[in-house]
């Protein structure tokens, strides 16, 4: 586990300096690139792709049109299974995944018919996540969950084997009573449940929080509880750089009676947090794409990252997180699709005990 964390942290702490390679001799003038997101149009992945799409169009040779499309269903496995079958390697098919696509793969979910090793990653970016409460529960939050343990919360969830396992396990570790309503098509739908009062607790990745949930906080309808944090160079969880004033789950756990930040449960939670967030959103070209096209897209994303205004515009839309391209994106994918056998076995057992989910 420690070696794994160090590898992840090494990627995150890597220098941002690089030299832009020359573009391959590719002209994409007049083409339309369909960037498919396997979630609804309301969530963080939608906001991530919609942020990058015009920048990618500007950076690619010939300035092709980049259109973001949505294919929600089965917690993103529907779209990922579709992408596995795509053979169009001319650069007009692009696919974006998130932790909710990675986790079923890691857990050998029987609905998975896709193989990450077949795909060509051209960009990966990290993200964070914020858990928040409705106003009534927020009034009882004092930096610990001690005052929240007698409340019965409702949470709109994509499924326990998706990215939602990170908040669900965290809330259980805090001794909170959170009842998930499974079956939503994206985290944006969970936010809508919260807005309508059908859910009383919610979690959003950073892009979804910045462009949606933050308004609820400003209106007094929601109260931030915690972030999942970020990893420093030593692999320790520290405050999220996008939300430095919010406590991390680790801090809230340490302040809450009965919650432990060591041991088997903590190690499993941290392993899936590491797999799900530091390299949380990844853009892929399909298997069979030529190296010339792969290099063209990797170089285009490097050009986006090199924009003098990128740090400023990205922190407002998707947060302050690392972005990887080319070989670094491939390395980030490796970290995002690897967890220890011990952590996996713990989560598989927990899913069965807590939610009756059996993965066979």
Residue 255 confidence (pLDDT) above 70: yes
Among 14-18, 57-61, 120-124, where is mean pLDDT lowest?
Answer: 14-18
255 and 284 belong to one structural domain: no
Secondary structure letter of residue 116 according to DSSP: G
Q: What is the mean pLDDT of residues 163-184?
A: 97
97: in domain = yes
Can you tell me which residue has the tokens 């999942």?
A: 228
Is residue 20 located within the same domain as residue 95?
Answer: yes
Q: What is the tens place of the pLDDT at every residue in 194-232?
A: 999 999 999 999 999 999 999 999 999 999 999 999 998
Domain membership of residue 222 as a residue range: 129-275
Are residues 291 and 216 part of one domain? no
Is there a single domain that holds both residue 147 and residue 185? yes
Q: Is residue 211 part of a domain?
A: yes
- The H or E element that residue 285 is part of is strand 281-285
Q: Is residue 349 part of a domain?
A: no
Does one domain contain both 25 and 47? Answer: yes
**255 with 282, same domain?**
no
Same domain, 7 and 96: yes
* Backbone angles phi and psi of 231, in degrees to 5: -100, 135
Do residues 73 and 33 share a domain? yes
Single residue among 218, 241, 275 that ends a domain in this structure: 275
- Do the domain assignments include residue 12? yes
Q: Say what percent of the chain tops pLDDT 90.
A: 85
Look at the block and give the residue holding tokens 């949930």. Answer: 213
Same domain, 255 and 135: yes
Q: How many domains does the chain have?
A: 2
Do 242 and 290 reside in the same domain of the chain? no
pLDDT recorded at residue 360: 66
Measuring CA to CA, which residue among 181, 176, 182, 183 is closest to residue 152?
176
Q: How many helices (H) and strands (E) does the chain have?
A: 15, 13
Contact call for residues 21 and 295 (beta carbons, < 8 A): yes
Instruction: Please report, for the domain that includes residue 150, its CATH number.
Output: 3.40.190.10
Tell me if 351 is assigned to some domain.
no
Same domain for 151 and 192, yes or no, is yes
pLDDT at position 21 is 43
Q: Determine the pLDDT at residue 43.
A: 86
3-class DSSP string for 189-245: HHHHHHHCCCCCEEEEEHHHHHHHHHHHHHCCCEEEEEECCEECCCCCEECCCCCCC
Q: Tell whether 355 is covered by a domain.
A: no
The verdict on 202 and 72 lying in the same domain is no
Q: Is the pLDDT of residue 234 over 70?
A: yes
Which CATH number fits the domain that encloses residue 325?
A: 3.40.190.150
Residues 6+ apart with CB under 8 A from 280: 98, 99, 125, 126, 127, 205, 336
Per-residue pLDDT, averaged over 122-126, amounts to 95
Domain boundary among the residues 236, 258, 275 is at 275
The fraction of the chain above a pLDDT of 70, given in percent, is 93
In a domain, 352, yes or no: no
Three-class DSSP category at 94: strand
User: Is position 239 within any domain?
Assistant: yes
Contact 317, 77 (CB under 8 A): no
Q: Do residues 117 and 287 make contact, with C-beta atoms less than 8 angstroms apart?
A: no
Angstrom distance (rounded) from CA 302 to CA 299:
5
Is pTM, for the whole model, over 0.75? Answer: yes
- 174: closest CA among 128, 131, 238, 222? 131
Predicted confidence (pLDDT) per residue in 306-359, tens digit? 999 999 999 999 999 999 998 999 999 998 999 999 999 999 999 999 999 998
Last residue of a domain, one of 228, 244, 275: 275
Q: What is the pLDDT of residue 75?
A: 82
CB proximity list for 177: less than 8 A, separation 6 or greater:
149, 151, 152, 153
């Amino acid at each position: 586990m420690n070696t794994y964390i160090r590898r992840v942290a090494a990627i995150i702490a890597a220098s941002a300096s690089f030299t832009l390679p020359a573009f391959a001799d590719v002209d994409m003038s007049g083409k339309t690139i369909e960037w498919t997101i396997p979630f609804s149009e309301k969530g963080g992945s939608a906001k991530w792709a919609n942020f990058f799409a015009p920048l990618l169009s500007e950076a690619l040779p010939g300035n092709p049109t980049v259109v973001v499309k949505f294919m929600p269903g089965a917690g993103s496995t529907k779209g990922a299974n579709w992408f596995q079958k795509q053979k169009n390697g001319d650069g007009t098919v692009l696919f974006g995944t998130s932790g909710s696509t990675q986790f079923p793969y890691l857990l050998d979910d029987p609905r998975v018919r896709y193989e990450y090793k077949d795909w060509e990653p051209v960009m990966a970016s990290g993200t964070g996540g914020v858990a928040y409460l409705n106003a009534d529960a927020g009034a009882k939050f004092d930096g610990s969950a001690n005052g929240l343990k007698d409340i019965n919360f409702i949470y709109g969830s994509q499924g326990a084997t998706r990215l939602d396992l990170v908040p669900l396990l965290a809330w259980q570790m805090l001794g909170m009573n959170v009842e998930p309503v499974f079956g939503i098509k994206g985290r944006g739908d969970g936010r809508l449940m919260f807005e309508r009062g059908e859910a009383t607790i919610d979690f959003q990745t950073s892009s979804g929080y910045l462009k949606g949930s933050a308004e609820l906080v400003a209106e007094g309808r929601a109260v931030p509880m915690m972030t999942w944090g970020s990893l420093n160079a030593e692999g320790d969880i520290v405050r999220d750089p996008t939300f430095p004033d919010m406590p991390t789950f680790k801090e809230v756990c340490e302040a809450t009676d009965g919650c432990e930040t060591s041991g088997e449960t903590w190690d499993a939670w941290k392993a899936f947090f590491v797999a799900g967030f530091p390299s949380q959103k990844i853009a892929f070209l399909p298997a069979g794409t030529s190296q010339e096209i792969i290099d063209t897209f990797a170089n285009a994303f490097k050009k986006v990252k090199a924009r003098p205004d990128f740090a400023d515009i990205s922190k407002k839309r998707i947060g302050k997180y690392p972005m990887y391209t080319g070989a670094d994106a491939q390395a980030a994918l490796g970290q995002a699709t690897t967890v220890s056998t011990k952590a996996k076995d713990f989560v598989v057992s927990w899913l069965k005990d807590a939610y009756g989910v059996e993965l066979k």
